[in-house]
Structure 1
Amino acid sequence: MNFHISFKVAILLLFSIKLSSFIYAVEESSPFALNSNGKHLFILSGQSNMQGHRPEEAFTPSIKAALGNDKVIIVQDAMGGQPIKRWWKSWKTINGKISKSNGDLYERLMLKVRKFIKGEKINSITFIWMQGERDANMGLGQVYEDSLNGLYTQLSNDLGRKDINYVIGRLSDFDLKNSRYPHWSMIRKAQVKVAESNPRFSWVNTDDLNDGINRKGKKIKNDLHYSAKGYKILGKRFAMKALKLIKRGTNN
């Protein structure tokens, strides 16, 4: 009798060990398995086309579907018509002139970020940037590459992380001839150059998002801003690029 019970216990123990090993293997195979107790932070900022982006339409559902409802923190803060100097504190003109308004919108953004992450364990951080129209209009393209890199370094230092993912929304095909915004093409090239300079960086194409019907019901063609459908697609693309970078980071 005792032998029979001991044999059953041994079988159950062996089964438990195998089941535990299987569960562990499944968890380890997940692209987001590392540091699974923490949350994934997404910071979205920029000017009008980020302001027009509504995370709840596509970005947030896509992110939560992949990572879990209780595993993400999403913070978006944007203001239309603003140059990148409103975010990067060390911004300078090509002649080295510093503006007094440097970094004020960055501080506004970070107040929100710090509020949301207080007391939280952060697994990964992804910074999503959609901006550049104003700098193209003002002819500030020559310092835009340095500005993108400087903004990233500033955020990394402030959050104490060197592993932040960076997704850059490239300017659309609105003014490829540079007739209205003299540095439009220059800004586009700078965005791609920075995005392709680091395995933690990526960029999103927006060339097909500015045709159709905008949120006011007006038909647009090759517009500065995106259509209602375009903003939803933008959110999905942001999410896709962000998740890909997170997966790549957990596999390193």
Structure 2
Amino acid sequence: MENILSKIAKLILIFLVATACRPEGKHLFILSGQSNMEGLIPEESFIPKVEAEFGAENVIVVKSAYGGQPIRRWFKDWKDPLEMGIQAQPDLYDTLLSKVNSAIIGQKIQTITLVWMQGERDAREGHADEYERSLVGLHGQLVEDLDFENINFVIGRLSDFDLENARYPHWTRIRDIQVQVAQSNGKFAWVDTDDLNDGLNRQGKEIQNDLHLSAQGYYILGERFAESAIHLIRSN
């Protein structure tokens, strides 16, 4: 009898210690980028998945995306690699940061994950030489502005739309950079989109290897982003 009571007491103690050590606060997910992020509807698949994992009361999702935009609309220190006089114009970052700050007023934040789907415009303009620095710099910019050191970073890699670099001359270079950056840090990850741009788009039109994703593709992308984010949160 004493042995059983001793075991029960130990289990209770373990439970109390685990509960006491459990981090508190909400999980903030920041979704940003250009058209393929704009086309993602978080309520379809991303939010249900992260809420199922952490609880609806423990999740904050902020999305701020604008089609056709280069990374210089987010990264403050962007430099024109072609020296054509183009300047950084980080107004979209300012908008994003304002939305985030409004969403977290009075909230205790346990983790932050930036989910990024962008790069098509930079590939089209031939700005790959500046993209790696900008991508890493954007993450660092958010770390500094939110005063939160350990921000996870999930990067959606450009699809197989233009693997010949025929229309977007730096398409494959941007793809490679996205993977390279994702593999450079244990808190970073990348998501494949090569199989998501075939089928019916949201207008009911049949597409194949399109610049934008199919209706089902956006749904799956939301799931993949959520799964990747969850994995980073649970493993760090």
> Per the shorter chain, which TM-score range?
over 0.9
Q: Once the 2 structures are TM-superposed, how far is the Cα of residue 34 of structure 1 from its aligned partner? A: 3.4
1:21 to 13, 23, 29: 13
Answering whether residue 33 of structure 2 is matched by residue 46 of structure 1, we say: yes
2: CA distance, partners of 1:24 / 1:182? 58
* Equivalent AA in structure 1 for residue 22 of structure 2: L
Partners of 2:6 and 2:104 in 1: how far apart? 42
Q: 1:133-173: CA deviations, max 9, x gaps?
A: 00001111111001101101100000112200000000000
Deviation at 1:119, TM superposition (A): 1.1
Counterpart of 1:88 (choices 55, 59, 75) is: 75
1:155 aligned partner, one-letter code: L
Instruction: Report the alpha carbon displacement of residue 19 of structure 1 after superposing the two structures with TM.
Output: 5.4
Equivalent residue, structure 1, for 2:147: 160
Kindly name which structure, 1 or 2, has the bigger radius of gyration based on alpha carbons. 1
- Residue 101 of structure 2 aligns with an amino acid whose one-letter code is R
Post-superposition shift, 1:20? Answer: 2.5
CA distance in 2, matches of 1:240, 1:97: 40
* 1:201-233, Cα deviation, whole Å (9 max, x unpaired): 000000000000000000100100000000000
In the alignment, is the contact (CA less than 8 A) between 1:90 and 1:98 conserved in 2? Answer: no
CA distance in 1, matches of 2:17, 2:36: 42
Distance 1:23 1:34 in 2: 10
Measured in 2, the distance between the counterparts of 1:97 and 1:118 equals 41
The one-letter amino acid paired with 2:198 is D
Query: Which TM-score applies when normalising by structure 1?
Result: 0.87
Q: In structure 2, do the counterparts of structure 1 residues 195 and 15 end up closer, same or farther at CA, with 3 Å as the change threshold?
A: closer
Q: Match of 1:173?
A: 160
Q: 1:23 corresponds to which letter in structure 2?
A: F
Using the TM superposition, give the Cα deviation of residue 102 of structure 1 relative to its aligned residue in structure 2, in angstroms: 1.8
CA shift, 1:14, in A, is 6.7
Aligned residue number for residue 202 of structure 1: 189
> Structure 1 residue 99: deviation in Å?
4.3
Which contiguous aligned blocks of 4+ residues in structure 1 show a shift greater than 2 angstroms? 13-28, 95-101
Contact 1:91 1:99 in 2 (8 A): no
Gaps of 5+ in 2: none
Is the partner of 1:165 in helix, strand or coil?
strand
Residue 103, structure 1, aligned to residue 95, structure 2:
no
Distance in 1 separating the partners of 2:232 and 2:78: 27
Alignment of 1:1-252 (within 5 A): 17-18=9-10, 20-21=12-13, 23-24=15-16, 34-35=22-23, 37-94=24-81, 99-100=86-87, 102-249=89-236
Question: What code does the residue aligned with 1:59 have?
Answer: F
Q: Is the 8 A contact 1:92 1:98 kept in 2?
A: no
Identity, in percent, stands at: 55
Give the SS at the match of 1:232: helix
Task: After TM superposition, give the deviation of residue 95 of structure 1 in Å.
Answer: 5.2
CA distance in structure 2 between the partners assigned to 1:52 and 1:68 by the alignment: 25
Give yes or no for contact 2:79–2:87 (8 Å, CA) kept in 1: no
Q: Any idea what SS the aligned residue of 1:55 has?
A: coil
